[in-house]
Structures are given as structure tokens and as C-alpha cells.
Chains A and B, each alone.
Chain A
Amino acid sequence: AQSVTQLGSHVSVSEGALVLLRCNYSSSVPPYLFWYVQYPNQGLQLLLKYTSAATLVKGINGFEAEFKKSETSFHLTKPSAHMSDAAEYFCAVSEDSYQKVTFGIGTKLQVIP
């Protein structure tokens, strides 16, 4: 069965600092992996996705994630945090053709001025 574990339900960084949000996955087959972002009172929107084409995936708003099979990880990074990055971030995994997507518990990112 597919699952993801997000380490840290809350992360605080200073504006301009590196953002690192951690995600580990469990899957019985090569997975599709995703990061979604949710702003207050809104639905989720896709940040980036890994579909086996390249291990380093670039997404919107300067975010990127690296797929590491040996570590079963898919951590999300951004070199320099901006105030507008404050939101909740969800790691997700899918392994079937119907796109059943399982989400992690989410990590709330706080950006301190």
C-alpha cells in the first residue's frame, strides 16, 4: 500500500532562508510523487510532480524536489523563502492508473520577517 510520511507538522524559517520540507514515501511499485500547496481557505494546487523522467524536479514559485530511491525520499526545497510562501504543503503519492492519490498529514510553513 502506498503512503507518505511528512516529518514536522510545523516549520518556521526566516525570510530569505532555505526552505526544506521532508517527505518519505512507501510504495510497492515505482511511484508518482507530488507536492501540493494549500493557502488559507483554498483548495490544494500542484507545486510539482515526479514521474520518473528526472530525479530533480522543478516546480512553480522556485520550489524543487529531488527523488532519492535509496532513501525513499522526496524532500521539497527552495533556496530563499519569501513571505508569500507561508502555506501548508502536502506530499502525496500515487501508484495506480486511476490516479488514486494518498496525501501526507501536511507541513505548515511559517516565514518570519
Chain B
Amino acid sequence: DAGVIQSPRHEVTEMGQEVTLRCKPISGHNSLFWYRQTMMRGLELLIYFNNNVPIDDSGMPEDRFSAKMPNASFSTLKIQPSEPRDSAVYFCASSFGQSTGELFFGEGSRLTVL
């Protein structure tokens, strides 16, 4: 079975440009999470959805970040405008029902903002 699929795997962009990261969760999973990983701050939870509804977006750093989940099989994380400090690896993860926190991670999208 396919795991969590993220795209693009690598993105290099210039400061001020819009960046859109995409995620396809595992079919049948009803929770989706966006994490950001940096050397300095480790893994930070940005936002998570349950049944396509955003539950907690308190980790979103600022208004430049937005996330959507229009249906059960697709989510986007958008940064507009991007800044060099947004450079990080962004992970999407999904889980199913009462699976007590077992998250299935994608391979990540490595973002570099010049």
C-alpha cells in the first residue's frame, strides 16, 4: 500500500515567492498533521486536521502560513511570502481513528529559501 505522499521532495525558491507543499495521506486515515523540522527547534507541530477540519493551528508561525484540507485525500501547506527563516524540512503525517498516536510520516519536503 502507498504511504503518505508528499511533493515536492525538494524546493528551492527566492525570498518573497509563494511556496505550496502538498500531501496525500494514507487512504482511510482521518487525521493529518503538518510538522516542520529544523536543527535549532527540532520537530514542531504546525497544524492538524481531523476529518478535514482544522483542530489546532496554534503552531503556525504567522499569517504567512496557511493550510487547507479540501478533502480526505489531499492537503496543502502554503507560505506566502516565503522568507529564508522558513527553510526547513516539512513533514506531513496521517493517522487513523483511535490509533493512539501512531503517525505515518511522508518522506518530507525540503524547502530552501534564498
Q: 11 other contacts beyond A34-B101, A43-B91, A101-B33, with CB at 8 A cut-off?
A: A32-B101, A43-B93, A43-B107, A45-B105, A46-B103, A49-B100, A49-B102, A90-B43, A94-B100, A99-B99, A101-B101
Among A42, A45, A101, A104, the one with the most B-chain Cβ atoms within 10 Å of its Cβ is: A101
Interface of A is mostly: strand
Could you tell me which B residues sit within 8 Å of A by CB distance? Answer: 4, 31, 33, 35, 42-43, 45, 48, 50, 55-56, 91, 93, 95, 98-103, 105-108
Task: Write out the residue numbers on chain A whose beta carbons fall within 8 Å of the beta carbon of B99.
Answer: 99
B4→A43 contact, CB < 8 A: yes
B43→A43 contact, CB < 8 A: no
Alpha-carbon distance between A43 and B103 when the two chains are bound, in angstroms: 10
| A103 CB-CB contact with B under 8 Å | yes
Given contacts A43-B93, A44-B91, A103-B43, contact A98 B48 (CB under 8 A): yes
One digit per residue, 1 when the CB lies within 8 angstroms of any chain B CB and 0 when it does not, for chain A 91-113 equals 01010011111111110000000
Number of A-B residue pairs having CB atoms within 8 Å of each other in the complex: 62
Count of residues in A whose CB is under 8 Å from the partner chain: 24
Could you tell me which A residues sit within 8 Å of B by CB distance? Answer: 32, 34, 36, 41-46, 49, 51, 90, 92, 94, 97-106
Task: Write out the residue numbers on chain A whose beta carbons fall within 8 Å of the beta carbon of B33.
Answer: 101
Select which of A34, A90, A100 is within 8 A of B56 by beta carbon. Answer: A100
